[in-house]
Chains A and B, each alone.
Chain A
Amino acid sequence: MAGCKPQAESAGSKQKVKIPIDPVTRIEGHLKAEVEVKGGVVVDAHLSGGMYRGFEQILKGRDPRDAVQFVQRICGVCPTAHATASALALDDAFGVELTDNGRIARNLILGANYLQSHILHFYHLAALDYVNGPDTAPFIPRYGNNDVRVPKEINDVAVGQYLEALEMRKICHEMVALLGGRMPHVQGIVVGGSTEIPTREALNAYAVRFHKVKQFILEKYVPIVYLLAGPYGDLLKTGIGHKNLVSWGVFPTDSKGNTLLKPGVYTDGKDYDVDPAMIKEYVKYSWFEDSTTGLNPTEGETKPNVNKKGAYSFIKAPRYNDKPHEGGPLARMWATNPEISKVGQEKLGVTNFRQIGDAAFSILGRHVARAEETALVAMAVEEWLEQAQPGKETFVPAEIPESAEGLGMTEAPRGALLHYIDIKDSVISNYQVTSATIWNANPRDDMGQRGPIEEALIGVPVPDVENPVNVGRLIRAYDP
C-alpha cells in the first residue's frame, strides 16, 4: 500500500518531489511535515503545528495559583513538567522558598514522569520505526517498504518489550500518583512546594515500583537502543541540524540552584551560560499577528491570526541569540556531559557523552541521549528516595502578591520549558509559555532560518518516495 502521495514520481531521480505527511503520528499533538526530495535526499522541509487552544489568553484574569492546574493540560504526556515550570514561576512571583522535602518531593514526581515519558517515547512512539508490530491494528497498516532491518528474533524481543514497557510506564505513573495524587495531571505540585508530606509507607511503595522500572531501563531499554545501532548504523550519521542546543537545567539538587541536568547553551561550537534575555519569539511564518514578533517571553503577546498569508504553523519560532536551537535529552546530556552507561562505553568506545561527537547529532544519537538520560535520572531518583524525609513539611503557604512577576525555567522530557507570569491586582495579567516542542518543531523565523527539525531533515535519505520512512524517524527522534 502506498504511504504518501508524492506530487511527482520517479524515486531517486534528479526531479524534485514534494511529500506531505499529515498527520505525523506517534507524537503528542498535531503536526504536518512537508519535505522536498531530490536525488534520494531531503532538500527542503516545512513543519506545521496544526492546533491552537489559547492557554495564554484563557489564563488572563484568573487566580495565579490556578495556573499550575491549567497549564498541565497543555500536554498530557508531560503535565508534571508544565506544573513544575508554572510552580517555579509562581514561587518566584510569590517570593517563596521551598523546604528541602518540598524540593525533593517535586523531583520524585517529575523524575518518575521523566522515566515514564522516555520509556513511552522509545517503545510506544518511536520503536515502530525500527521493528514491526503484530499484524493487527493499530500496528497495521504500515509502510509497505518500511526498512525494518532487524532479524525476526530481535523483532520478537522488541515486541515483547513494547508490551512490558506498557506495564513499566504505568508503574511510573503509580509512582507519580503516590506523591502527586494522580496522573495524568497531578494535584501535588503547587506554588510553595508539594502538597503531600511523604509517609514512610508511600516512599516504600514508590521504591518497590521504582526498582522494577530501574531494572527494565538498565537491562532492556538502554541495551536495545544500542542494539539498533548495529543494523541502523547509518542513522548515526544523518540529521545533524543546526548543531545549536539549549538546556535550562532541571532537578534542583540543593536550594542554591544547582541541578542534576545542567543548564547551558551551545551555539556554533561554543558553550555559553543561559541568559533568558537572549530569547525572542518570532512569528513571521506563524499564524500570529506580525506586530507580536521578536518579543522576549517576559513581554510576549499571543494574538492568533489564522488567515495570515505566508504563515504555515501555530508554533512560534523561538530563537536564542537570534539563532535556532534544539532542546531535549541531547541538549541536556551535552550540557551535563556525564559518564555514559557501561554498555554505551563498550559500544561507542567513549566514556563521556560529549565524546560521542557529531554522531550524537543524529537520528539514533538522539535516542542514545534519551536512553542514557533515563538511566542517569533513574540513579538520581534512587538518591532522592534516600533524601526524602517521611513526615517532614513539603509545603510553604504564601499569599498571592498584588503585583509581581515570575519566571520558571525547567526541562520537560522533550526539551527546554519556560513559563512567565505577570500578576496585577492579584490576578494573572499575562502568562507566556515557551514549551519544549516550540523549540524543536518551529517554522522559519523572520530571518528565514529553518526551525531545528526542519533543518535536521535536510540531507536525510529518502530512497523511496512512496515510503519516506526516515522523515518520520528523524521527527520522532525529537519526541515532539
Chain B
Amino acid sequence: MKDVQLLPEMQQKKSGVTRRSFLKTVTGTAAGIGIAQMVNPALIQALEKGLKRHPVIWVQGQGCTGCSVTLLNSTSPPIADVLLKVISLQFHPTVMASEGEMGMENLYAIAEEYKGRFSLVVEGAIPTAEDGKYCIVGEAHHKEITMVDLVKEIAPQAGSVLAIGTCAAFGGIPAAEGNVTGATSVTDFLKDNGISTPVVNISGCPPHPDWIVGSIVHLLEKGIPELDEEGRPMIFYGENIHDNCPRLDAYEEGEMSETLSDPKGCRMDIGCKGPDTYADCYKRKWNSGMNWCIDNAVCIGCVSSGFPDGTTPFYEPA
C-alpha cells in the first residue's frame, strides 16, 4: 500500500472504523432501530483487528454523480473515515486532485499494480451504441477513451466490480424506454464481453450510503456477501418494504392516504411501490435517519431492476 499520511486528528483512533460505528452501518441503528440478527460476527472481528485501505477505482458512465454524493452522506463510519481509513480512492473524477492524462495514467498504473486486488466501482450505465461515443471518459496517449473502452480494459483486471446505483446495476433511467444510447448495465456489459469478474449490484437511485460502505467492508473482510437473484447483497435488499412498513397496520385497517400531503395512512392508493420493492429503507431511513420516502410521499421503487419503466407512473397504484 502506498504511503498513508493521516491528518493529526485522524491518527488519534487506531483502527480504521470503530466496532460501534460499523455495527451501526450494518444494522441500520443509525436510524434508531437495531436489527441484531443482521450482524455478521466475523465482520466485527475484522473491525477489531483494523482494516487495511483497499484500492478502489471509481469510474462514471451515464450517471448523475448522485451515487457519489450519497456516499458522502455516510454517517457511521463518517465519509472522512471511509476515504482515509477504509478505502484508497485512487481514481474518482469528482473527488481526486489529479486531472487529464495524469489521472488516466494513474488509473492504468494502479490497475496494473494491484491486479486482481482492487475493486472497480462503476457508477452510471454504459452506453454501447455508436461505438460507445455517448460517453467519453478521458484521453490517454492521444486517444479518446470511451466508457466502453475503459470498462472493457479495467474490469478484467479487478478483483471485483461494484455496480453502484440502479443505472450501473440494471440500466436505470438511461436505459429507460426512449433511450437511443444503448445504455447497458454492468452485468450485461461484462457478459456480452466475456468478462468474468464477479459483480455486486448495489442498486438504488441513489443507494443508501450504508449499502455501499457495508458492501465494501464485507467484500474486504469476508469476500462477496450473499447475493439475491439480481446480484444484490441479501443483508440490505432481502426484505419487502410493504411487509415491513411502519404503516402496515394502517393498510390492514384500511386507512389509506388520500393525497400526497396526508400525513397518515398507507400510501398504496396514491402510487406507493413498496409492495414490489425489496430494501431495508423502512428501518434504516435516509440521511442519518431523518426521514424516508414513504413518510414523505411514496416509494418509487428506485432499487428495483424494473426502475423506472416498471415502476411508473409513480403516482398511480401498481
Contacts and interface: CB of A to CB of B under 8 A. Distances in A.
A51 B135 contact: yes
A52 interface: yes
Given A57-B178, A166-B72, A187-B298, A134 B7 contact: yes
B18 interface: no
A159 B7 contact: yes
B177 A58 contact: yes
Given A22-B100, A70-B173, A184 B136 contact: no
Interface in B55-106: 60-70, 72-73, 75, 78-80, 83-84, 88-104, 106
Nearest to A169: B72
Given A51-B136, A58-B176, A73-B173, A181 B291 contact: yes
A58 B173 contact: yes
B97 A140 contact: yes
Contacts of B316: 63
A65 B313 contact: yes
Interface string B126-169: 01001001111111001010000000000000000000000000
A174 interface: yes
A76 B64 contact: yes
Contact of B96 (A138, A186, A395): A138
Given A59-B178, A63-B315, A77-B65, A25 B287 contact: no
A307 interface: yes
Interface of A (DSSP majority class): loop
Contacts of B92: 138
B261 A26 contact: no
A185 B176 contact: no
B64 A73 contact: yes
Interface string A32-61: 100000000000000010111111011111
B169 to A, nearest CB: 14
Contacts of B37: none
B295 interface: yes
A196 interface: yes
B82 to A, nearest CB: 10
A76 B173 contact: no
Contacts of A183: 73, 286-287
B64 A51 contact: no
Nearest to B147: A51
Contacts of A48: 136
B102 A2 contact: yes
Contacts of A53: 62, 127, 134, 173-174, 179, 181, 183
B313 A205 contact: no
Given A51-B134, A135-B3, A395-B259, A185 B205 contact: yes
Interface string A63-103: 10110011011111101000000000000000000000000
Interface of B (DSSP majority class): loop
B286 A181 contact: yes
B296 A187 contact: yes
Given A3-B102, A138-B83, A394-B261, A54 B70 contact: no
A134 B7 CA distance: 7
A50 B138 CA distance: 9
Nearest to A29: B65
Interface residues of B, number: 90
A369 interface: no
B136 A141 contact: no
A192 B297 CA distance: 13
Contacts of A54: 174, 178-181
Contacts of A27: 93-94
Contact of A75 (B7, B65, B101, B172): B65
Contact of A197 (B88, B206, B263): B263
A28 B181 contact: no
Contacts of B291: 177-178, 180-182, 196
A5 interface: yes
Contacts of B103: 23, 25, 141
* Most chain B beta carbons < 10 A, residue from A7, A25, A61, A397: A25
B67 to A, nearest CB: 7
Nearest to B87: A137
A3 to B, nearest CB: 5
Contacts of A66: 308, 312-315
A80 B133 CA distance: 29
B73 A170 contact: yes
A195 B2 contact: no
B296 A188 contact: yes
A343 interface: no
A159 B61 CA distance: 30
B21 interface: no
Given A51-B135, A51-B136, A140-B98, 15 more contacts: A3-B101, A5-B142, A23-B103, A25-B95, A52-B134, A76-B206, A124-B72, A124-B95, A136-B6, A141-B97, A163-B9, A174-B290, A178-B291, A197-B263, A306-B133
28 contacts: A2-B102, A23-B100, A25-B97, A25-B99, A30-B60, A51-B62, A52-B62, A53-B62, A58-B176, A61-B178, A63-B313, A66-B308, A69-B308, A73-B66, A75-B64, A77-B66, A133-B97, A137-B2, A142-B98, A170-B288, A178-B291, A181-B295, A184-B70, A187-B298, A193-B261, A195-B260, A304-B134, A395-B259
Closest 10 CB pairs of A and B: A76-B66, A181-B296, A182-B286, A50-B136, A395-B261, A177-B287, A187-B297, A22-B139, A63-B313, A21-B100
Interface of B: 2-7, 9, 60-70, 72-73, 75, 78-80, 83-84, 88-104, 106, 127, 130, 133-139, 142, 144, 172-174, 176-181, 183, 205-206, 259-261, 263, 286-288, 290-293, 295-298, 300, 302, 308, 312-316
